[in-house]
Chains A and B, each alone.
Chain A
Amino acid sequence: MYATEEALRHKPGFGQTLREWIFTIDHKRIGILYLIGSLAAFAVAGLMALLIRIELGSLGPTLTSNPGTYNVWLYFHGAAMILAFQIPALTGFLANYLVPLMIGARDMAFPRLNALSLWLYWAGIILALLTFVIPDPPDVMWTGYPPYSLKTGGNTAFYVFTVHLMGFSSIVGGINLLTTIFYMRAPGLKLNKLNIFVWSTMGAFVLQLVFIPVLAAAVTTLLFDKYLGTHFYDPANGGDVLLYQNLFWFYSHPAVYVILLPTIGMIFDIVATFAKNRVFNYNMVVYGGIGGVVLMSGEVWIHHLFTSGMPDWIRIGMMISTLLISIPVGLLMIGLLGTLYRGAIQYTTPMLYAVGFIFLFLIGGLTGIPNAMTAIDLYIHDTHFVVAHFHYVMAVATTFAIFGSVYYLFPKMTGRMYSETLGKIGFFILFAGVNITFFTMFIVGFKGMPRRYYDYQQFPQLEGLHHIITIGAYIIGIAALLILISWIHGLIAGKKAPDNPWGSKSLEWTTSTPPPPGNFRELPILTEEWHPYGYGRSK
């Protein structure tokens, strides 16, 4: 069943190693290749963010006097951060790496399809990077609203196909993962003993399967309208511009939960491990929290369109449903806090990121409430207040969870320990940087700064605050570099990691470090008493 010791000791040559990596169909290696791609996307998109902030740092044209160039930066920043960094890091890297290990399976149900979704994603990255090379690059933000996206001279087709490649990659991955979770669990692993992360991944992929096709249809019709001359979004010929906004946000609001669910699931696992505590209210978290978010996520999208000319009865209804979705999200938060309560907490780097996540997510969540209320939203819609809100709640909080998970899994993935000191320094600088940047952005937004403006001659009094935001952006950049250095340092100079450095009860830590092909020496058979969070109360 298991590779012989002799086979393991045999060292493959460089060419063979490279072939084994590039053509791999093993879920752990695919996961790591996903991580590399998403971190690369994060780096480039982060650079775009820095360019955007330098441009806004002072009044008047700073880096460019061409608003079109600014639009391309915004396009790349938004599209790459969401489609090429967050979703792949969560549903590509973490789900691929962890789910088969957590459910005690040898691999995914379809290893080749798994590789296909990886390389489709990479094809999407290639397409996104070509933005910088091709003439007339796409400049339609990550939303691609018509009529601008139809009238612009930019290459909207590249935007559409990037979405298609990433979307198809997610759908293929989703089918694969759901089949794996349903049919490949180790004997004795009942559904109510799954890690929260596995549950939340399941929820995220159910959302992907249902909602991505709608986005695919929306951008496809955009393509038809622009290049084949159909009239979906042409009011002069019976089309409807708002139709696109509805279809787009019908996917893209649930996409927020696609990002949120695995994030919070991972945070649950980290918190339970380092608080050495069972997950508080497991059933309520799974069925009420994750299940509730999945069920309600498709009924709130109009809150993105409060100023788009919706009838009042829809706006009021969607305001209520938006406020109601804070109940399942609240259950998840209560679960997290309850898990911390009376735990034996160790503040390692991953735990710091988890706690940081809770704080940032709380700020993001609370500032979501005024955004959800139609009357207030009419005033703050399309201002920097909204930008700050969604950066807190999905950009920054999620990035904290992703970095935390990379630290958490670092020993398992690489077989080496990272340096706690370097990790903690990186964390605190990042934490300071994001709060300086995005909290100031709330204030700027509330004072009326609109989003997507490349200059703000009308608001000269905001220049000081914009300076502060730009300084914060630099601090984030420095922190990102430090974090990267801490990983490289760990890879090169880290101590050898034991199989279970964190003392976790979860299945992925029972195999050797790093896990061999086939994951487990013998397929785990789980007893009645076993539970991934089975830490005794007495500890």
Chain B
Amino acid sequence: MNEYAVEHEISGHEPHWETSPWPLVLSMAMLFVFPFAFSLYFVYGKPIMAILSLGIGIPLTVLSVAGWISEGVGQTREPGYSVKAMPFFIVAEAFIFVAFFVGYWVMRLSASSWPPAGTPEIALTVPIIMTIVLVSSSFTIHLSEQKMEHGDRGGFLMWLIVTIILGTLFLGLSMNEYSHLFAEGFNFKTNAYSTAFFSITGFHASHVFVGIAMFICILIPALMGKMSKSFVKSASMYWHFVDIIWFFVVTQVYFWS
């Protein structure tokens, strides 16, 4: 284990008080994007102010993430620690899903009849297509990783882009399904099933979104000739996790009814 410490020591640089403004900027941006915008819109009913708050927060977020990456990609020494850290993050993420599923099971197992009144027929072909899309994206990111290991930059970039496209397709299918369900009058407020359905699938979709964002954060510096192998490996690990969670979502929320 300790060889990491020793290796970094050899390639280490002159210690001084290191600084980076981006963590601070990102945290303050988070304040505007989430609590302020949400409260202004939902609690105080001021949509214009909420949009203003997002207008401050989102550019700051993008700016700080970009600044962070441009600092980090150049400095990270290989082998980086991010591959080692990602499993810890995945454990944490898994437990959020556990809690959501527990909420769903509690409502479901205590219900007298399931699905509750007001639930329309939910087509099962869409989730099958979504499963195929997501599973194949897991394969493509694996291919991309392998190409990277073999030093094939073109192949790496191509499969990475294919993965991003597949992920976006998945989100598009999900949005499309939502809009159909909304049109049929099935939304957050309908009943216990809609509560679980939209929170679990929506929460999973937000993870797909984060995964895509990670890939874009790898793609843009890679196009400019900078990349870190550990980032790629850990992002791909996260993507596989999102894929595995989807199996639970699909079996529990769609097919068990």
Contact = CB atoms under 8 A, between A and B. Distances in A.
Interface in A233-247: 237-240, 243, 247
Given A174-B88, A217-B100, A155 B5 contact: no
B103 A232 contact: yes
Contact of B99 (A165, A189, A247): A247
B252 interface: no
A457 B63 CA distance: 58
Interface stretch (A122-130, A262-270, A332-340, A342-350): A122-130
B12 A106 contact: yes
Main secondary structure of the interface of A (DSSP, over half): helix
B120 interface: no
Interface string B1-35: 11011101100101111111111101110110011
Contacts of A136: 43
B150 interface: no
Interface stretch (A34-42, A178-186, A465-473, A480-488): A178-186
Main secondary structure of the interface of B (DSSP, over half): helix
Nearest to A169: B27
Interface string A104-132: 01100111110110111011001100000
B27 A120 contact: yes
A245 to B, nearest CB: 12
Interface in B82-108: 82, 84-85, 88-89, 91-96, 98-100, 102-103, 106-107
Query: Contact residue range for chain B?
Result: 35 or more
B24 A217 contact: no
Interface in A143-189: 155, 157-158, 161-162, 164-165, 171, 174-176, 178-179, 182-189
B174 interface: no
A119 B85 contact: no
A155 B23 contact: no
Nearest to A214: B99
A22 B20 CA distance: 9
Interface centre among B2, B27, B111 (most CB of A within 10 A): B27
Contacts of A105: 5
B198 interface: yes
Given A157-B39, A217-B103, A26 B17 contact: yes
Contacts of A133: none
Contact of A213 (B26, B82, B92, B116): B92
B103 A247 contact: yes
B241 interface: no
Interface string B65-93: 00010011000000001101100110111
A229 interface: yes
A126 B2 CA distance: 39
Given A135-B44, A209-B88, A523 B9 contact: yes
Contacts of B100: 217, 221
B18 A210 contact: no
Interface stretch (A1-9, A59-67, A366-374, A529-537): A1-9
Interface of B: 1-2, 4-6, 8-9, 12, 14-24, 26-28, 30-31, 34-35, 38-39, 42-44, 68, 71-72, 81-82, 84-85, 88-89, 91-96, 98-100, 102-103, 106-107, 110-111, 116, 188-189, 191-192, 194-195, 198-199
9 tightest Cβ-Cβ pairs between the two chains A and B: A518-B15, A238-B192, A217-B99, A119-B27, A115-B23, A161-B35, A23-B19, A229-B189, A213-B95
6 contacts: A111-B18, A120-B30, A157-B38, A174-B88, A174-B92, A176-B85
Interface of A: 1-3, 7, 19-20, 22-26, 29, 105-106, 109-113, 115-116, 118-120, 122-123, 126-127, 134-136, 155, 157-158, 161-162, 164-165, 171, 174-176, 178-179, 182-189, 209-214, 216-218, 221, 223-224, 227-232, 237-240, 243, 247, 516-519, 523
Given A29-B17, A188-B2, 10 more contacts: A1-B9, A1-B12, A3-B14, A7-B16, A106-B9, A134-B39, A185-B2, A210-B92, A221-B103, A239-B107
